[in-house]
Amino acid sequence: MTGFPAVRARRLRATSAWRRLVSETRLSPAQLVLPLFVREGAVEALPIGSMPGVVQHSLDSLKRELQRATDAGIGGVMLFGVPEHKDATGTGATDPDGILNVATRVAVAEVGDALVVQTDLCLDEFTDHGHCGVLDSRGRVDNDATLERYRDMALAQAAAGSHLLGLSGMMDGQVAVLRDALDAEDRSDVALLAYAAKYASAFYGPFREAVQSSLQGDRRTYQLDPSNRREGAREVELDIAEGADIVMVKPAMSYLDVLADTAAVSPVPVWAYQVSGEYAMVEAAAAQGWIDRERAIDESLTSILRAGADAILTYWAIEAAERANA
Please confirm whether the linkage preceding 251 is cis (ω < 30° from 0).
yes
CA–CA distance, 65 with 23 (Å, rounded to integer): 31
Label the pairing between strands 270-273 and 311-313: parallel
N- to C-terminal Cα separation, the chain: 44
One-letter amino acid of 8:
R
Q: If we measure between CA atoms, which residue out of 41, 185, 167 comes closest to residue 103?
A: 41
Asked if 63 is an active-site residue, the reply is: no
CA–CA distance, 151 with 144 (Å, rounded to integer): 11
Sign of CA dihedral 192, 29, 268, 227: negative
Q: Which residue of the set 250, 275, 301, 312 is catalytic? A: 250
Q: Which residue of the set 39, 149, 198, 219 is catalytic? A: 198
Sign of CA dihedral 57, 60, 64, 67: positive
- Three-state SS at 105: helix
Distances (CA, A) of 213 to 85, 280, 292: 12, 17, 32
Beta bridge partners of 247: 194, 270
Q: Is the CB of residue 78 less than 8 Å from the CB of residue 120?
A: yes
C-alpha radius of gyration, the chain, whole number: 20
Asked if 86 is an active-site residue, the reply is: no
In which region does residue 108 sit, left (phi positive, over 0), alpha (psi from -120 to 50) or beta (all else)? alpha
- Three-state SS at 256: helix
Residues with active-site annotation: 198, 250
